[in-house]
């Protein structure tokens, strides 16, 4: 509780104490004079409500007449005018109690967002001129080496050039298990170095770093309002003047017909009108609806799901079609050796070592994958290495001809080989015109991709489509393993946009979400109803074009994002229905004289507190991966 909250609580308690004393002593020998009782009630009223009256006056001069301060002021002043002093004090006390609860709840929601701001690093230790200096992260240039000690935040994105450590990424991804990072591994700003000193070569300026992007996304998320928020804003502008006019008519019209000269009749209908005003205060909706979206965005951010605005939460909640890119989204995006077939008595190590020596000078991704798979290679064994364009590599190793390449190379040199039927990139190897075997390389499916697809189906995504630029055999194999019934292969970036537009035109009612990570996915992310980018390894262009960013590239979080969005929108609808139902019911009862100021207080303060407490549930993202 802040100092402001404590001061407000003291005012409420002081007013309640004065009110209680006046109520207890009313009619006793201690207070014989009725004016002393009224003075105590006025003291209680102004102690708790002076700021409401003052804000109402100030807002009138600024053209903001029909707000909750005006409604509460006119209702309580009207109650005093007709002699209902105790009810005026009671209404003001409980209104301020409700405002205090609201302020505390909003503060808690904002603190959950503000906790993300702690990601922002205060300084960076950079190596310059043979020594280390501490500077602001924005003053570090790309290519410079920064030193990160154990327990410190990594201030800028970069690659480890010296040392190894465990990195805590929970602030970015929501993943509590630290990850192992060694030389050559990328590290992201905002993460915490856990165990050892590391030297990091900066790859992005501070303005382009991951932590800056996150803070920018979160800070700007409230700028894009959902339809529900816009509706409530427009509703309040029309609703409040209407109810003030209705209250005025309620106070004036019936007495003109029921007894224009009867003071008691006027008093009864004015009392109903004042109660009507108390009920009509729209603050429960005006506060709880935006707060639900705000809390939801904060809760999703803590789980590594960044949403750029509450309007995207509404769109995501309606998702019934998911279109996913294959490479980098459902697969790792990295070609690796998945299988080695050996023939004619050769062993796996024989094949890998020879292939590694032959591919040592190549920059092709397949060559790099073979080198990464092999532990080491004695390149001195190769006398010559010759690249055969379109076929592979010919090398002389230990004085013997070795051929590494595709099936066309085997046909060209006249080697009898066993054709491999595995899906992927196939590398055949022959030595001295003798076939040794085949190396299979492919893009590996992420360990969580199958569960991710199953989770999407479980949460009601009835159509899941995979798009890829790979050939049909690869696409068919991945789709079969993941349980995806619909896929399209050999697509150029422009083809993906065209296919997505076709899917959007053919969808039935719901929204279409596209999930991708590469720069070639940016046009589709922008075209889809809702674009979801893999933010951990995804390109900057994809992250910029997307509406939702998954910070750790985990496909399971696609379903989590959809479920969370639906829960947030459900809470918004609950609050709207609950608030309007209670208020309309009490408004009718008040107009008919079946309910008074006490019921009006519940319909205003009580309903507002309940709606806000319900809104705060949005910050808790309970679904587990």
| Residues forming the active site | 325
Secondary-structure breakdown of the chain: helix, strand, coil percentages, each rounded to the nearest 5: 55, 20, 25
Sign, CA dihedral 357-363-366-368, equals: positive
Gap between the Cα atoms of 267 and 79, Å rounded:
9
Report the interhelical angle of 85-117 vs 34-61 (nearest 10°).
50
Q: Are 559 and 354 in contact (CB under 8 A)?
A: no
Distance from chain centroid for Cα 182: 29
- Residue 163 CA to residue 142 CA, distance in Å, equals 20
Please name which of 566, 603, 610, 573 lies closest in space to residue 588, comparing C-alpha atoms.
Answer: 603
Distance spanning both ends of the chain, measured CA to CA: 34
* 85: Cβ contacts below 8 Å, ≥ 6 apart: 38, 41, 42, 45, 79
Helix runs in 303-336, H state only: 310-317
In degrees, to the nearest 5, what angle opens at C-alpha 596 toward C-alphas 590 and 597? 115
- Give the integer Cα–Cα distance in Å for 176 and 463: 32
Cα gap 144→200, rounded to integer Å: 8
Structure tokens at 433: 């015109």
Render the burial of 252-273: b for 16+ CB within 10 Å, e for the rest.
Answer: eebbeeeeeeeeebbebbbbbb
Q: H helices then E strands: how many in the chain?
A: 21, 22
CB 147 within 8 A of CB 160: no
Residue 453: in which H helix or E strand, if any? helix 449-458
Secondary structure of 146-175 in HEC code, one letter for each residue: EEECCCCECCCCEEEEECCEEEECHHHHCC
Using only C-alpha atoms, what is the Rg of the chain? 34
Q: Torsions phi, psi of 595, nearest 5?
A: -140, 150
Q: Could you say which DSSP state residue 605 is in?
A: I
Structure-block tokens of residue 599: 């019921």
The angle subtended at Cα 511 by Cα 477 and Cα 543, nearest 5°, is 70
For residue 58, count other CB atoms closer than 10 A to its CB. Answer: 11
């Amino acid at each position: 509780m802040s100092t402001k909250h404590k001061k407000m609580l003291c005012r409420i308690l002081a007013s309640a104490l004065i009110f209680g004393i006046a109520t207890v002593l009313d009619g006793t020998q201690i207070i014989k004079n009725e004016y002393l009782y009224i003075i105590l009630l006025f003291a209680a009223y102004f102690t708790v409500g002076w700021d409401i009256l003052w804000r109402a006056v100030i807002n009138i001069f600024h053209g903001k007449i029909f707000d909750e301060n005006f409604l509460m002021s006119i209702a309580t002043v009207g109650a005093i005018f007709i002699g209902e002093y105790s009810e005026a004090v009671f209404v003001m006390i409980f209104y301020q109690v409700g405002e205090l609860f609201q302020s505390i709840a909003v503060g808690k929601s904002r603190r959950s967002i503000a906790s993300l701001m702690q990601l922002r690093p205060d300084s960076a230790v950079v190596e310059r001129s043979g020594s280390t200096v501490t500077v602001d992260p924005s003053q570090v240039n790309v290519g410079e080496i920064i030193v990160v000690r154990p327990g410190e935040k990594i201030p800028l994105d970069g690659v480890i050039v010296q040392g190894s450590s465990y990195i805590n990424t929970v602030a970015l991804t929501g993943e509590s298990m630290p990850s192992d990072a060694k030389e050559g591994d990328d590290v992201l700003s905002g993460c915490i170095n856990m165990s050892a000193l590391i030297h990091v070569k900066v790859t992005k300026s501070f303005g382009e770093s991951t932590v800056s992007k996150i803070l920018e996304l979160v800070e700007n998320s409230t700028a894009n309002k959902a339809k529900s928020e816009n509706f409530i804003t427009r509703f309040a502008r029309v609703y409040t003047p209407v109810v003030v006019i209705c209250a005025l008519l309620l106070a004036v019209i019936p007495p003109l017909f029921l007894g224009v000269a009867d003071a008691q009749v006027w008093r009864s209908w004015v009392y109903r009108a004042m109660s009507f005003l108390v009920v009509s205060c729209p603050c429960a909706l005006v506060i709880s609806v935006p707060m639900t979206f705000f809390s939801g965005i904060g809760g999703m951010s803590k789980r590594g799901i960044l949403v750029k605005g509450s309007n995207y939460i509404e769109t995501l909640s309606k998702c019934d079609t998911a279109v996913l890119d294959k490479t980098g989204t459902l697969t790792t995006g990295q070609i690796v050796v998945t299988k080695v077939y050996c023939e004619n008595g050769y062993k796996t190590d024989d094949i890998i070592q020879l292939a590694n020596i032959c591919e040592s000078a190549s920059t092709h991704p397949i060559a790099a994958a073979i080198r990464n798979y092999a532990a080491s290679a004695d390149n001195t064994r190769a006398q010559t290495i010759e690249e055969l364009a379109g076929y592979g590599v010919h090398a002389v190793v230990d004085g013997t001809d070795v051929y590494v390449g595709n099936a066309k190379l085997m046909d060209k040199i006249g080697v009898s080989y066993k054709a491999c039927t595995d899906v992927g990139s196939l590398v055949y190897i022959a030595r001295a015109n003798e076939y040794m075997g085949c190396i299979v390389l492919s893009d590996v499916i992420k360990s969580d991709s199958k569960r991710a697809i199953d989770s999407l189906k479980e949460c009601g995504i009835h159509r899941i489509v995979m798009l890829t630029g790979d050939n049909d055999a690869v696409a068919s194999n991945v789709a079969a393993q993941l349980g995806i019934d619909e896929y399209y292969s050999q697509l150029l970036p422009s083809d993906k946009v065209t296919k997505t537009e076709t899917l959007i035109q053919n969808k039935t009612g719901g929204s279409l979400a596209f999930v991708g990570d590469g720069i070639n996915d940016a046009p589709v992310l922008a075209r889809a109803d809702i674009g979801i980018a893999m933010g951990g390894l995804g390109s900057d262009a994809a992250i910029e074009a997307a509406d939702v960013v998954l910070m750790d590239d985990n496909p399971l979080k696609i379903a989590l994002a959809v479920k969370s969005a639906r829960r947030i929108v459900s809470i918004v609808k609950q609050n709207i229905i609950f608030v309007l139902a209670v208020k309309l019911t009490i408004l009718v009862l008040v107009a008919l004289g079946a309910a008074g100021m006490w019921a009006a207080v519940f319909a205003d303060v009580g309903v507002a507190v309940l709606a806000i407490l319900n809104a705060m549930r949005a910050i808790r993202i309970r679904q587990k991966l």
